[in-house]
Amino acid sequence: MNTTVPASVYAQRRARLAAQLGAGGVAIVPTAPERQRNRDSDFLFRHDSYFYYLTGFTEPGACLVLAQGGQSTLFCQPKDLEREVWDGYRLGPAAAPQALVVDAAFSMAELDARLPRLLENAACVWYPFATHSGLAARVEGWLNTVRARVRYGALCPAAQNDLCTLLDEMRLFKDVHEQDIMRRASAISAQAHIRAMQRSACMLRAGEDVREYHLDAELLHAFRDAGSQYPAYGSIVAAGANACVLHYRADAAPVRDGELVLIDAGCELDSYASDITRTFPANGKFTGPQRALYDLVLASQEAAVAATKAGARFNDPHDATVAVLAQGMLDLGLLDKNKVGSAQDVIDKRAYFQFYMHRTSHWLGMDVHDCGSYVEPGEAGQASESKDPLSGETITNRPSRVLRPGMVLTIEPGIYVRPAEGVPEQFHNIGIRIEDDAIVTATGCELITRGVPVKADEIEALMRA
């Protein structure tokens, strides 16, 4: 696996980053470590997203250093024909400068010897604080080697900064290459959802014993068949009441005629995630209560989509969702008007939280819950405090992020009805979420996941097919 994006694009990203490191800034970005699964089997290797963003390089055992002036040095696995017989091709340091347009490349074995030299006389060292456990100690070791040379005139960087703050901001705005990959990832995932829906209806019509894993198998087949490398996160395939478990994973529970199935699954394509949820009747036909809740969640999603546009705030789609859900919960009797009051009361008291306990959106990119500040930079100091109506805790509120073209977020309202006193029985154990991925544009947003229908009638039609 490697990148379909030209090497020059990664070089441009490195140059943009280097320009932000300040005079005398040096950046260190390792890829992810390989992780043991059990005995001599490793988990499937997934490169580090920051490292990939700057290199497009997917081999394990690598580290990028941007020296003062933006000079790029890649450390990578050395060529080793014997190891390559077992583990596969390695690019190697000799071929790396041309393939990745880096200025220099060396074996990882030289990292400890060369890094102190690259750090000598620098003013500041930047590295990701949050993602690589043990890296701070290694940096400290390299700095100690520099410090040991101060008597010979070497200067040691006096500052250490979190590289995530710069890279998170860059990654938050997806360029045309990234948007293109994300559209393609979304299209694959959309087809996968269609396959799973149709398999469910087909098997039930044939009187077969449908299990969650049958539908998971359809997702995996569709992902890999279209060239995606793997699921972007653990797929949720939740039949019936399992849909009310937010982080449920595809298991072996029966998919029953008359119940709903919630599938939250998306593929990763060339390092970019997609993230789709659809909820559908296992047999292809919604019951009355299922349809009532479904249409409410869809209406709340439509309100959120309308609120997703350049210039709006990140919280606006969530607030739009909650306004629709609050009114709907009263109208359907999930919440008792006589006890809770008006829709505004439902919002003020956070009474909707009983049935809608997660946020409506998150950033999406290389990581399914992608990086990027949710607070508007420059307004972070404008904090206000309020009391959470449910827990009584004091919460600090800061102005949420202003949406700009090129940001990508999910829009994923839901309703999850656990049996409880006063909750109409016809809704018990119904869990519904509808999730689409949106690219913010100048005038609104582009929903890139609508290759799978979302309207109840359209879902029923495709499941009849």
Q: Which of 268, 275, 316, 460 binds ligand GLY (CB under 6 A)?
A: 275
233 binds, among ligand GLY, Mn ion, none (CB under 5 to 8 A by kind): ligand GLY
How far does CA 258 lie from the centroid of its chain? 32
Among 59, 264, 268, 437, binds Mn ion (CB under 5 A): 264
Q: Which is nearer to ligand GLY, 93 or 431 (CB)?
A: 431
Give the alpha-carbon dihedral of 412, 418, 422, 427, to 10 degrees.
70
**DSSP of 371-403:** ---SB-TT-TT--EEEE-TTT--EEEE-PBPBP
Among 264, 367, 370, 460, binds ligand GLY (CB under 6 A): 264
**Among the listed residues 410, 436, 437, 463, the single contact to Mn ion using CB under 5 A:** 410
Nearest to 436 by CA among 455, 460, 457: 455
Among 412, 436, 437, 460, binds ligand GLY (CB under 6 A): 412
| Cα distance between residue 114 and residue 408, in whole Å | 38
* Nearest to ligand GLY of 203, 236 (CB atom): 236
Q: Which is nearer to ligand GLY, 194 or 368 (CB)?
A: 368
The answer to whether 40 is a known catalytic residue is: yes
Inter-residue contact 369 to 435 (CB < 8 Å): no
- Distances, alpha carbon 352 to alpha carbons 143, 296, 405, in Å: 52, 13, 31
The two structure tokens encoding residue 367: 């990581």
Distances (CA, A) of 177 to 82, 223, 288, 422: 36, 20, 44, 51
Quote the least distance from Cβ 285 to Mn ion, whole Å: 25
Say whether 221 is catalytic. no
Q: Cα(343)–Cα(427) distance, rounded to whole angstroms?
A: 20
Of residues 232 through 261, those in contact with ligand GLY by CB under 6 A are 233
Nearer to ligand GLY, 230 or 233 (CB): 233
Question: Per CB under 5 A, which of residues 360..389 are in contact with Mn ion?
Answer: none
Tokens representing 163? 């590289």
Q: Which among 312, 110, 274, 272 has a CA at the least distance from the CA of 263? A: 274
x/- site string to ligand GLY, residues 195 to 234, per CB under 6 A? --------------------------------------x-
Looking at 168, 178, 264, 270, which residue is catalytic? 264
User: What is the pattern of x (binds ligand GLY, CB under 6 A) and - over residues 284-323?
Assistant: ----------------------------------------
| Spatial separation of the C-alpha atoms in residues 122 and 84, rounded to whole Å | 37
| CA distance linking residue 276 with residue 372, whole number of Å | 20
Instruction: Please report, as residue ranges, which positions from 422 to 451 form the binding site for ligand GLY (by CB under 6 A).
Output: 435
Question: Is 26 among the residues that bind ligand GLY (CB under 6 A)?
Answer: no
Annotated active-site residue in 433, 436, 437, 460: 433
> Which residues is 446 bridged to in the sheet?
439
Is 171 in the active site?
no
Known active-site residue 259: no
- Footprint of ligand GLY on this chain (CB under 6 A)? 233, 264, 275, 362, 368, 412, 435
Active site residues: 40, 247, 264, 275, 358, 362, 369, 412, 416, 433, 435
- Footprint of Mn ion on this chain (CB under 5 A)? 264, 275, 410, 435
